[in-house]
Amino acid sequence: MDFRLSPEEKLILETVQSFVQSDLMPLEQELQQAELEGHGQDFPDQETLRRLQLKARELGLWGLQTPEEYGGLALGQQMTALITMEIHRCLVPFQFGGAADNILFAGTQEQQREYLLPTIAGERRSCFALTEPTAGSDATNIRMQAVAEGDDFILTGEKIFITGGNEADFAIVFAVTDRGKGARGGITAFLVDREMGFTSRYIPTMGSWGPARLTFNQVRAPRRNVLGEVGKGFELAMRWIVNGRVIIPARAVGRAQRLLEMGVDYARQRVAFGHAIGDYQAIQWMLADSEVEIEASRWLVTHAAWLQDEGIDNHHEASIAKLQGAQMVNRVADRVLQIHGGMGYTKELPIERVCRDVRVFRIYEGTDEIQKRTIAKDLLRGTAGLGRWE
């Protein structure tokens, strides 16, 4: 394994770091004020986000994983993970423009013109709608039905905890088209425009953002809006989810690194009993434990991403990275809040908000328990783990 970056990759990463420092970090105070006023979930607004995305585009940061023929950089998973770490060192929510859900590239030419290209251009917004009230970790248990009727499918059911579902003007929806064939042959993906009739409702959460509940009541979607093949939707869903199991722990590394920096700074400045609190072993151990865990997660993510770039099945390593990264950032957040004492618990600092926001890392794109299940099953089958190398 060689994780060294090429000169071009180093330049891209340096450009990202400079953009974060000069354009994103200055907005953190505004975000904190918006949080105090109860408007944190709306910051940055779409106009500001678009302005930042266009500024990044001027720097060459556009469509990180989008193929070159669509105007993107076509970066691999390893570079994308490293960039994700850098972006999430800043507490302002941001994502680069020029991107689209990876499974939209599986669409027909007509679908690409109508959905993919406008999404890349920032003219349309999508959401991934798989989870249901009775089908979270067990995605094979979805109940939403799509019944064929002439040249259409009639979709009926609910989706829940859908990120971006309140803002999206179309959804990638997974529904059962043949229950007798099970998940592997009976689930189909559909591209469903909001004007076709689905509705969304905001779900308040303990974090500073909220997903949506989507309701489909006899929504008619034309057969031409089937994404991929009828009955092959579950494969597309897994392709989308596995990608997230590398990117989420990359986000966790970036966020934890920033928290640790805050903890180190405060440990140097805060004086108690005549000494900076960083002089005391109790604080030193919290800092040291956090540093070790962050670095361990960084390498787990890098390895899982490298395997993906090499075309090697990385589901086992991705589960390890997701499990470790999600748990790690929650432990680091708790330690840094503890280092700050009472101030850490107040809304004057962003630490309590980060503690609330990162808790969901242990839930979405596969809970901790699902990752452990995957890892253990691989071990018991003898198909992965136990120090094996590809």
Q: What pLDDT score does 182 carry?
A: 82
* Tokens describing residue 254: 């970036």
* C-beta separation of 304 from 314 below 8 A: yes
- Per the annotation, the verdict on 58 as an active-site residue is no
Select from 180, 195, 227 the last residue of a domain.
227
If you ran DSSP here, which 8-state letter would residue 230 be given? Answer: T
Lowest mean pLDDT: which of 30-44, 247-261, 315-329? 30-44
* 87: in domain: yes
The pLDDT tens digits for 151-187 are: 999 999 999 999 999 999 999 999 999 988 887 889 9
Do the strands 145-149 and 152-162 form a parallel or antiparallel pair, or are they unpaired?
A: antiparallel
Residue span of the structural domain in which 55 resides: 7-100
Q: Which of 176, 204, 227 is the last residue of a domain?
A: 227
β-pairing verdict for 170-176 and 126-129? parallel
When pLDDT is averaged across residues 55-68 and rounded to a whole number, the result is 96
Q: Which residues lie across from 201 on neighbouring strands?
A: 213
Statement: residue 389 has pLDDT above 70: no
The span from the CA of 364 to the CA of 300, in Å, is: 19
Say what the pLDDT of residue 388 is: 66
Together in a domain, 246 and 358: yes
**199 and 247 both lie in a single domain:** no
Residue 237 confidence (pLDDT): 93
Residue 360 lies in a domain: yes
- Lookup: tokens for 32: 């904190």
State phi, psi for 137 to the nearest 5 degrees: -65, -35
Instruction: Tell whether 279 is covered by a domain.
Output: yes
Structure tokens at 23: 């354009």
The pLDDT score that the predictor gives to residue 137 is 81
Q: Contact at 8 Å (CB) between 324 and 368?
A: no
Please tell me which residue in 35, 293, 352, 365 is annotated as part of the active site. Answer: 365
Over the chain, what is the mean pLDDT?
94
> Is pLDDT of 241 > 70?
yes
pLDDT of 138: 83
**pLDDT confidence of residue 289:** 98
- Whether 376 is covered by a domain: the verdict is yes
Q: How confident is the model at residue 9 (pLDDT cuts 50, 70, 90)?
A: very high
Do 326 and 266 lie in a common domain?
yes
Domain assignment of residue 372, yes or no:
yes
Tokens found for residue 18: 């400079």
- Tell me how many domains the chain contains: 3
CA distance 382 to 366: 22
Alpha-carbon distance of 241 to 322, in angstroms, equals 11
Q: How much is the pLDDT for 3? A: 84
Query: In this predicted model, what pLDDT tens digit does every residue of 302-321 receive, in sequence order?
Result: 999 999 999 999 999 999 99
**φ/ψ (deg, to 5) at 77:** -70, -35
Q: Are residues 20 and 56 in the same domain?
A: yes
Q: Which residues pair with 215 in a beta bridge?
A: 158, 199
**The pLDDT value given to residue 243:** 79
pTM of full prediction above 0.75 = yes
**Number of other CB atoms surrounding residue 334 within 10 Å:** 17
Let me know: does 101 contact 240? Beta carbons within 8 Å.
Answer: yes
User: In this predicted structure, what is the pLDDT of residue 279?
Assistant: 98
Compute the average pLDDT of residues 113-126. 96
pLDDT value for 2: 81
Same-domain status, 220 and 242? no
Which pLDDT band holds residue 266 (cuts at 50, 70, 90)?
Answer: very high
Instruction: Name the domain boundary from 227, 246, 271.
Output: 227
Residues 367 and 266 reside in one and the same domain: yes
**45 lies in the same domain as 170:** no
DSSP sequence for 101-139: -GGGGGS-HHHIIIIIHHHHTTS--EEEE--BTTBSS-G
**What is the pLDDT confidence band of residue 384, given thresholds at 50, 70 and 90?**
confident
Same-domain check for residues 37 and 158? no
Block residue for tokens 């440990």: 267
Whether 325 and 253 have beta carbons less than 8 Å apart is answered as: yes
Euclidean distance between CA atoms 230 and 185, whole angstroms = 8
Q: Is there a single domain that holds both residue 251 and residue 198?
A: no
Other CB atoms within a 10 A radius of the CB of residue 33 amount to 12
